[in-house]
Amino acid sequence: MLVTTPAIVISALKYGEADLIAKCYTRSDGLKSYLLRRILKSKKGNLRTAMFQPAMQLEIVANHKNKGTLESIREAKVLHPYQSLHTDITKTSIVLFLSEIIRSSVMEEEENLPLYHFLEHAFLWLDHQERAANFHLLFLLELTKYLGFYPDSSHMDKEQFNLQTGQFEAHPDVYSISPANLSLLKELLKTKFDTLHTLKLNQQSRAAFMDMLLDYYHLHIQGFKKPKSLSVLTNLFN
């Protein structure tokens, strides 16, 4: 079936001498994988390697067989040319890290408009910001809304947060988080991207909260793997 849809590039890996396998989150069908033949050597056609950098937002014309195999893209154009997302080293490192997270956590091959719009607007927002040090923390927390394990904030007055249950509780547990992470979690649950600049964190608290978030993902997503690019991100903010 021939489909025209907006799509956000998640990753692209070299396959053979001249091909790429690109994972994209499409507005029409969720996560899709595409085999881009000869794209690394072709000088003709409208498909270019630069289009398939992580977080690129495209409109594609694709052939979806929906049989669990690699699909194909006939045409593509950039929907939202970024100003800084792939030239600013901090933002580039954040995007690479988040693309790994998405690749390990988003599996559905079906339409999910709220998730698509979240990714679309989050990357556009990041592109237009001067400061981005805490963006990935709020992004990962917000992403859990669409993955099904967003923290239950109905009892935020309680003094413990259980990573396994995703709830605030009165009594400590083996899955309870540290007081510092608890305080930051409560603050982030009330923070929006547009007010993120008010959050002042040092490298130690940022790294500790990130480790806690990754533990949270690991507990709730089968087969979740810690991103290889985490060390790059940690060194960048050190």
Sign of the Cα torsion 87, 89, 91, 92 reads: positive
CATH number of 89-236: 1.20.1440.120
Distance CA 165, CA 198 (A): 29
Distance CA 112, CA 108 (A): 9
Q: What is the pLDDT of residues 42-97, one digit of tens each?
A: 776 789 999 999 999 999 999 999 887 899 999 999 999 999 999 999 999 999 99
One-letter amino acid for residue 44 of the chain: K
Q: Which helix (H) or strand (E) holds 125?
A: helix 113-127
One-letter amino acid for residue 176 of the chain: S
The domain spans of the chain are 2-78, 89-236
Q: What is the pLDDT of residues 84-118, one digit of tens each?
A: 999 999 999 999 999 999 999 998 889 999 999 99
**Fold: same for 2-78 and 89-236:** no
Q: In 3D, which of 72, 64, 78 has the Cα closest to residue 30?
A: 64
Which pTM was predicted?
0.94
CATH number of 2-78: 2.40.50.140
Q: In 3D, which of 54, 214, 204 has the Cα closest to residue 136?
A: 214
Quote the DSSP letter at residue 186: H
